[in-house]
């Protein structure tokens, strides 16, 4: 039996009724409830919206997570549901199901710089005098490195103890200062978050990264210049992962409290 999406067709991007407009969505908390799957209602609404404008998602997680949240409910590839798919803020990207150039932390800083960074971090942690250490002090992800002085294998209780200790002693703050002195010239951002770790990633590799793909695409044969870029997100406050793209002058930002909010606003804006 064919699912709805298999039989669904859309006008080519250049023939959408509102041609120079794209609507981009954060995933978690915007299209889906936090960490859960998208509802049939919002998936249907997106397919209706796609008849009128180009649509895309831009999520911080990797593609398998977005497949699980957005594609699996309809048993189709998530890349068939959106004109543009931006996983990991666009480091992994697709247009009409076809991959666009990808990027990674190592591609950006180079193997030698990466090796120096890891060497420095492991030496620093080896010499660090803190009450306990566990394992996995450096976790390499495609777009960033996550560093934890206690180690990511710490139990929940150990994490809480470290967080208290760190509040008093500023272990992470001091480590980040040393790293900034040594590696700041590589254009890296150091971001302390959660209980036990901090992230290191190239400056500007937030959700605004995906806008590069749209700009590149506009220059190509048959590419479209999107003069209106709507963005819907739930973490649009300073420090939230939607903040930069929400505030970016290239986008029109919409702050929502959850999928119901997104649905309501889309229906009003696009007469769906
Ligand atoms: Mg979100």
Distance CA 236, CA 204 (A): 16
Q: What is the pLDDT of residue 240?
A: 86
Identify the CA nearest to 192 among candidates 158, 239, 228: 239
Over pLDDT 70: what percentage of the chain?
97
- CA of residue 69 to ligand 1 center, whole Å: 13
Instruction: Specify whether 198 is located in the same domain as 231.
Output: no
- CA of residue 146 to ligand 1 center, whole Å: 20
Q: What is the pLDDT of residue 222?
A: 87
What are the residue numbers of the active site? 26, 28
Q: What average pLDDT does this structure show over 207-215?
A: 97
- CA of residue 133 to ligand 1 center, whole Å: 32
Distance CA 70, CA 255 (A): 20
Distance CA 18, CA 228 (A): 10
- CA of residue 200 to ligand 1 center, whole Å: 20
Identify the CA nearest to 141 among candidates 219, 183, 199: 199
Give the pTM.
Answer: 0.86
- CA of residue 255 to ligand 1 center, whole Å: 10
Over pLDDT 90: what percentage of the chain?
89
Q: What is the pLDDT of residue 102?
A: 95
In a domain, 174, yes or no: yes
Q: What average pLDDT does this structure show over 49-59?
A: 97
Where does a domain end: 202, 226, 258? Answer: 202
Distance CA 62, CA 41 (A): 24
CATH code for the domain of 52: 3.40.50.1000
75: left (phi over 0), alpha (psi -120 to 50) or beta: left
Instruction: Specify whether 35 is located in the same domain as 73.
Output: yes
pLDDT at 218 > cutoff 60: yes
Q: What token pair was written down for 42?
A: 């919002």
CATH code for the domain of 185: 3.30.1240.20
Instruction: Specify whether 176 is located in the same domain as 239.
Output: no
Q: What token pair was written down for 48?
A: 């209706």
- CA of residue 201 to ligand 1 center, whole Å: 19
> Tens digits of per-residue pLDDT, 72-122?
999 999 999 999 999 999 999 999 999 999 999 999 999 999 999 999 999
Cβ–Cβ under 8 Å, residues 91 and 205: yes
């Amino acid at each position: 039996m064919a699912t709805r999406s298999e039989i669904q067709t859309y006008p080519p991007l250049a023939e959408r009724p509102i041609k120079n407009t794209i609507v981009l969505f954060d995933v978690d908390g915007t299209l889906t409830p936090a960490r859960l799957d998208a509802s049939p209602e919002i998936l249907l609404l997106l397919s209706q919206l796609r008849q009128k404008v180009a649509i895309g998602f831009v999520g911080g997680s990797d593609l398998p997570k977005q497949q699980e949240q957005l594609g699996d409910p309809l048993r189709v590839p998530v890349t068939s549901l959106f004109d543009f798919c931006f996983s990991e803020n666009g480091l992994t990207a697709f247009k009409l199901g076809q991959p666009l150039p990808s990027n990674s932390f190592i591609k950006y800083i180079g193997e030698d710089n990466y090796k120096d960074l890891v060497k420095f971090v492991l030496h620093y942690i080896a010499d660090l005098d803190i009450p306990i250490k566990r394992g996995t002090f450096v976790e390499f992800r495609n777009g960033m490195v996550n560093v934890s002085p206690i180690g990511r294998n710490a139990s929940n209780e150990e994490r809480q103890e470290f967080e208290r200790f760190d509040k008093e002693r500023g272990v992470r703050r001091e480590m980040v200062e040393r790293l900034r002195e040594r590696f700041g010239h590589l254009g890296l951002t150091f971001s302390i978050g959660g209980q036990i770790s901090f992230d290191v990633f190239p400056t500007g590799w937030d959700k605004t990264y995906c806008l590069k793909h749209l700009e590149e695409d506009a220059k190509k044969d048959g590419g479209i210049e999107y003069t209106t870029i709507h963005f819907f997100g739930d973490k649009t406050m300073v420090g939230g992962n939607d903040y930069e793209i929400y505030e970016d002058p290239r986008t029109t930002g919409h702050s929502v409290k959850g999928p119901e909010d997104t649905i309501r606003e889309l229906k009003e804006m696009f007469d769906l």
